[in-house]
Amino acid sequence: MNIRNTNFDEGQVHTMLGEGVESLSPLARHESRGDDTHRPYAPIGVYDSGAGGLTILTELRKVLPHEDFLYYGDTKHCPYGVRSEAEIIELAKQASRFLLERGVKLIVVACNTASQAALEALRLSFPDVPFVGVVPAVKPAASLTQKGRIGVAATNQAAKSAYLQQLIEDFATGVEVYAQGCSELVTLVEKGQLQGPEVEAVLRQSLHPLLQHDIDVLVLGCTHFPALREAIRQVIGPDVQVIDSGAAIARRTRFLLEQAGIAHPIDQASPEQGSLQVWCSGDAHTFTTTASQVLGYPVSTESSMTSF
């Protein structure tokens, strides 16, 4: 059974809210200092509650192969979808400080829940730092549906957020949108359980409330969920388009780096891919196994040993 998986091409709409990329990053108005010659060589920070942001990292490394990346998974406090907005904001600030202490030039908040709850607070707390956030790709889903019915699979917190409701009101007029909290899928990914009968059983139960509405477009409103793509392919059927925003986020990041003049120089004589450091706030051994599975290649993880 083949499912149609769509990494929607947002080349023409990368600054628009609702496409899967949060717009209005302050990097658009940030100017690198003339004497800051090393800034283009600084790494890009990527932050998530756990392993979900690794799906975004994969797309970032495809589009920006020469950039160095520092990934931080806040596994000690995962999942975020069951936490209050105040908790998520504080955790996002702590994670951002961790990345900034290590010299990153831009932070991709590769977590839908954290982007919706904390992005504006992060920009207020760190006004000189460019942030790129993600939101559910409601607008392209609304334009793709033929039946007029789309589903949004998200974390519990994101599925009931006012932010999502506003996206629906702004970009899905005349379309029936069904949102479902599926935080149990985050747990699967964090455990490294990506395929198999048990995973498919959980997916059937989690996605049933959406599928019973005969949707024809499914928005993956959590960055963890693309890691389950193969299992989703076995469960959801061939007639549902699946949208995730990883490629759009990567293109948006490239655009902003180039606009600000802080993209890593491309050395044609040295085509090697940039470096990757992986950190987590919880058990490094466990996260190393999970991260290697999600990325498809071996990585090592260091623990931040945070107390927050």
Q: Torsions phi, psi of 296, nearest 5?
A: 85, 10
Residue 109 pairs with which residues in a beta bridge? 47, 133
CA dihedral 256, 259, 262, 265 (to 10 degrees): 100
Q: Does 297 count as an annotated binding residue? A: no
**88: its two tokens:** 């998520």
Q: Does 290 count as an annotated binding residue? A: no
Q: Does 113 count as an annotated binding residue? A: yes
Note every long-range contact of 7-11, with CB atoms under 8 Å and residues 24 or more positions apart, other chains counting: 7/59, 7/243, 7/244, 7/245, 7/246, 7/247, 7/248, 8/137, 8/140, 8/243, 8/245, 8/247, 8/248, 9/247, 9/248, 10/140, 10/245, 10/247, 10/248, 10/251, 10/252, 11/251
Q: Does 264 count as an annotated binding residue? A: no
**Cβ neighbours of residue 301 under 8 Å, at least 6 residues apart?**
278, 279, 280, 284, 285, 287, 288, 291
Q: Exactly one of 78, 111, 182, 280 is catalytic; name it.
A: 111
Q: Does 48 count as an annotated binding residue? A: yes
Closest C-alpha to 237, from 273, 211, 267: 211
Q: Does 14 count as an annotated binding residue? A: no
In the residue annotation, 182 being an active-site residue is answered as no
Q: Exactly one of 78, 182, 222, 280 is catalytic; name it.
A: 222
Q: Does 223 count as an annotated binding residue? A: yes
Q: Does 112 count as an annotated binding residue? A: yes
Total Cβ atoms within 10 A of residue 42: 18
In the residue annotation, 222 being an active-site residue is answered as yes
Total Cβ atoms within 10 A of residue 6: 17
180 close to 136: Cβ distance less than 8 angstroms: no
Please give the sequence-ordered ranges of beta strands (E in DSSP) within 138-282, or none if there are none: 149-154, 176-181, 217-220, 241-243, 276-280
Catalytic residues: 111, 222
Residue list, annotated binding site:
48-49, 80-81, 112-113, 223-224
Residue ranges at the known binding site for substrate: 48-49, 80-81, 112-113, 223-224
